[in-house]
Amino acid sequence: MVKNLFIETKRLIIRPYNLSDLEPSYRLMQDKELYRFLEFDVLSYEEYQGLFRWLLESYEVSYEEEFKYSFAVILKETGQVIGWCGIGILEFSKPDKEVYYLIGKEHWGRGYAFEAMQSFVKYCLENLGQQRVVAKVDPENIASKKIIEKLGFHFERVIEGLPEEFSHCHGEWLYSLSR
C-alpha cells in the first residue's frame, strides 16, 4: 500500500505526507514563482488545508482504481520538506498515469529533482505495477524538459485538441517511459 512507501536516495527521502508536514508544505507553496508552469496558483491557508486533507485521504485509494498520490520530498540532512512528487491518472488520457514533481526554488540547480524522480519513477514501474508512465512538460520549462529526457522518457506528441476543461494543457509536450 502506498501509505507505506519509503524511498531513500543519497540525499533525499520520499514518503507519504503526515499531519506534521502541513505547515512546512504550505510555506513551501507560497512562492508565486513555483506556479509558472502549474495549472493552479498560491492557495490561502484554508484552501491549502483542504488540499492537504485530500492528499492524506488519497492514500486510501487503491492503485487498481483511478488514483492520484503525492509524496513529500525531504532533505535527509535537515529533515526539511523541499518539494513533492507524485503519480496519478492523466484525466484527458485515461488510463495513462502521469508522474510529476516540484522542488522549492531555494533548492533548484542541485540535482534534487532528478535524484527524486529517478528513484520515484523506478518505484512506480517496479512496485506499483505500472507498465508505462507519462509526463507533461511545458516546452518553455527547459529544466524539467532536461530532467524528463535524462530519465529516459521519449517525446510522444504536442498536446492539442482537448476539451475546454483541459485546455490549460494545450501546447505542452507529452513524454512516456515504458518498463
User: Quick check: pTM over 0.85?
Assistant: yes
pLDDT in tens, 103-123: 999 999 999 999 999 999 999
Burial of 37 from C-beta contacts in 10 A (0-12 / 13-18 / 19+): middle
Chain centroid, CA 4 distance in Å = 18
109 Ramachandran zone, left/alpha/beta (phi>0; psi -120 to 50): left
pLDDT in tens, 25-48: 999 888 777 666 666 667 899 999
Taking CB atoms within 8 Å and a gap of at least 24, the contacts of 130-133 are 130/87, 130/97, 130/179, 131/178, 131/179, 132/96, 132/97, 132/176, 132/177, 132/178, 132/179, 133/87, 133/96, 133/97, 133/98, 133/99, 133/176, 133/177
Q: What is the pLDDT of residue 109?
A: 93
Instruction: Map grid coordinates 514501474 to a residue.
Output: 125
Whole-number CA gyration radius for the chain: 16
Instruction: Find the farthest-apart pair of alpha carbons in the chain and give their distance in angstroms, rounded.
Output: 45
Ordered domains of the chain (ranges, CATH): 2-178 (3.40.630.30)
